[in-house]
A and B are shown apart, each in its own frame.
Chain A
């Protein structure tokens, strides 16, 4: 398998000399094409900062990030937006759909922004909607559909341009358990059937159990790595819970 994303000694500091906050200390890892990688950690462990750096929304203080061999930390500011829309797909906790557009228009917007020929937009939207099972709500507005449907629409929008990497930031954060399960199954099928590479940030063990590999962050460093391998999902889930207990400090710290 070939490596699609490679992070080399990433560091991210906030503040100035007198008051320096190290959000990311030193992180290096790589993601293979078609992998479903989960990133877990407590609040303040640096997982969202990491995602922001990968997604070029934020810049790194030191280190390099390579996406298919391109060092994205070296891309000029003016070319970043173009890079983002051509290579990355985003799914956010709060959906980030536009309330002025219908579900189909929300998906089509991502294609239009990417200057896809107008004639092929609608067929591609229909095709993607079919895969994500949202064909029947295409003409509705976001406020007329459920949270789960909104998030599937967000997934469709993220996937429509066939991004090299799909970045998901707490995608189930605003969903009930049923919708979460549905969404995660959808993401799994995107990963397995469409071959998408997914990087998902979450602090929910259940969501993380859908990933094939999990990186646990603590205080801006990789604390542990967990691979699913041939385990069943429930076994993997148990392993995750164990790691979380460890990160939480275990028995030794509570006294």
Chain B
């Protein structure tokens, strides 16, 4: 569509409310929309999928105030005057994958995140699928990175000691008549990078996935699909990066930058001013904000919410791998349609949906999302019941209007690399994004030597419940804490919880411990173990129980000793 045509379309749909201005290197969208949905729709109309000329939207919505980025209250000088070679903004799976790749080189790398832990936004709020990349248009960057990332997973997870199940994925169809056509698509999948496939009749499908819906008449099985614990992987990447020399600074928000003559001179944070040689923007939903601070804003992010439900482990018997039924996909084109995923931890995940939102950090769930998701997925999995739900969560995708990833050097600024617009399948692509960015970083530091002490392998927190009787006995003999079960649902010992508090990327919160070794992840959701976990954190870190937090700095669980406040 030509610019003039797009402008006409905008006028036709929205009157003169919004206007598209082609500017050098970007499509600038301005005006005032009636609603956020209008603003997003306008952006999508103006964008060309996969184009490197991006829509930059300054559209406002009448009466809508978009909340500013949440910034920790902490103010100190921990980072004041640091001069790292590379500063990575954002410790999600992308930032952590980049950090780990860079730790292969002898570079001084600072990885920052404004939150209290790594993987608190989209990286812990997704379904953990390692995608074959079925529905991504060839030619898009995210297609290339998804294919490459998918192939890297087996080795990466082996090195990092992260559970990964290349369980494959069934795309089921209602019409038996498509069966012969499925055979014809096999070479396409092979060529396009989705990899090797199998065509299954209903009978063959039922043999492998006994409880899949009778609506499924045949299926295409993608062998390369897999399932991983997304926050487990992110924590592991961060730990390995730190073990290999990366400095991680949490509770660190970038507030502004000093840019002169197309170069970032300094980055001002709540923990001091940093003078990095190169900045990497891996800020997820805030990537546009970071680009703006760097005076290199050439794209816009429109956040898109997705909600998943987690089911009790009892439901896991109904599913071996991952499946979804075609034709029950949501009308929005911007989700893979979700599905039902058997997770590596033995639960079942259902979702996600896709809803546009102006709020980048509103993780609230609503009843409607769950209802709709269940309605839809029940076509594929009739055994789904809301009674099996143990919890649900919302994540927010960092989509650009072009719906493609941006992994490139700054356009107006010399010393920045953007890894932006990384939405689904960002988890799958993360290792490849890390590799690609590391390649670009080498251009800035051509003389950087290999890090001679780089060790790709990471020792995990050993999960006692998964060991044999004899192995477990040996651990307990060395440390009796491994024999004291704290979380009865997930069978987690005191020793594992103390380990989680003392990792290369330490944590001090109940949620941090939960992400690292799972107490509270089970069906009682911490009802029994949370007082014990709080006590262990308090004893191990030497802080009063009333100071122990759930997560971020304002999330203390308790309000002091009884009697003290009267």
A and B: interacting chains? no
- List residues of B whose CB falls within 8 A of some A CB: none
- Which residues of A pack against B, CB within 8 Å? none
